[in-house]
Amino acid sequence: MVSIGVIGYGYWGPNLVRNFSQAKGAHVTAVCDQRPERRALVEKVYPSVKTFSDIDEMLHNPDVEAVAIATPVSSHFPLAMRAIQAGKHVFVEKPFAATVAEGEQLVAEAERRKLTLMVDHTFIYTSAVRKIKELLSNGSLGDLYYYDSVRVNLGLFQSDVSVLWDLAVHDLSIMDFLIGRSPTMVAATGMSHVPGRPENMAYLTCFFTNNLIAHFHVNWLAPVKIRQTLIGGSEKMIVYDDIEMSEKIKVYDSGITVNQDEDSVYQRHVGYRTGDMWAPRLDNIEALKIEAEHFVECVETGQQPLSSGHAGLRVVRILEAASRSMANHGQPVEL
């Protein structure tokens, strides 16, 4: 039985406490939060859980084997590093570090101490994304042409990170899991409409080998909430709508056929193919429950998590390059 301590009981912390409390092979023994009213809430809902206001005091508690960190991005690196150096396995919110250099240090330290470091890329554990991965892995889509994602809403303006680090991180983690390779170059543009705050809308393009391109549109200042991804292949295409309740994934047997005229290499005919659409059946298991149990399994067996520190580092590497590109009005940055 793996004993878990949760650092941060704000927006996401309660979800972590609930899921780790219910996860097979785990139990929550401690919660740390500096705010007395949040600690009082924990004590009311989970009377057996010990609360702390001091992080080091919790980390020195022998009843805590692993910690889950749900705090602002700027605090992820120092908290995760202190936990690892205290001999704790670490589950940390995304992005797990504010820079590539910080991420590399966390990965190296966890590996040196043979501890599990896992990043909370929740979406890759959803039934929808797991089904898309299955379709990509068995070759149903053929050669991948494009990955196009929109994640917009009238959202919470963050003060410490741009909309790329807040919203695009979700879609980049999904793309990293689904495609299984990193882009060779990125370009990003964005704009801030609130003085003194980071960019609240942005467009990010990732370029891959073999003519694959990925594009991300993120915005905190949209009148509607959209969570939609289009994935185009040579054989089939997918529309993934995370807001859709009954048919989150639709697979279209649509595409083009290109016939080359034998008389001239310059003559090509493009034909269109429109076939059936089908929506695969998905399970209703909460992604965070699957993820929590996966973390516990990795702690117990030593296996590499699906959303390992290396996966988190690949995402941070894209975000850092995108931030440099955005600061230079879209100048492409090679990875």
Predicted local distance difference test score (pLDDT) of residue 148: 98
Predicted local distance difference test score (pLDDT) of residue 260: 64
Burial of 197 (0-12, 13-18, 19+ CB in 10 A): middle
Tokens 């990965």, residue located = 107
Predicted local distance difference test score (pLDDT) of residue 160: 82
Cα 211 from Cα 151, distance rounded (Å): 24
Overall size of the chain counted in residues: 335
Predicted local distance difference test score (pLDDT) of residue 256: 77
The number of angstroms, rounded, from the C-alpha of 46 to the middle of its chain's C-alpha atoms is 28
Tell me the domains of the chain and their CATH numbers.
2-122+287-307 (3.40.50.720), 124-285+317-334 (3.30.360.10)
pLDDT means per 10 residues in the chain (335 residues)? Answer: 97 97 97 98 97 97 97 96 98 97 98 98 98 97 97 88 96 98 98 94 97 98 97 97 95 81 61 86 95 98 98 98 98 97
Cα 125 from Cα 296, distance rounded (Å): 14
Written in H, E and C, the secondary structure of 72-130 is CHHHHHHHHHHHHHCCCEEEECCCCCCCHHHHHHHHHHHHHCCCCEEECCHHHHCHHHH
Cα 55 from Cα 58, distance rounded (Å): 5
Predicted local distance difference test score (pLDDT) of residue 318: 98
Tokens 């310059």, residue located = 266
Which residues are 173's β-sheet partners? none
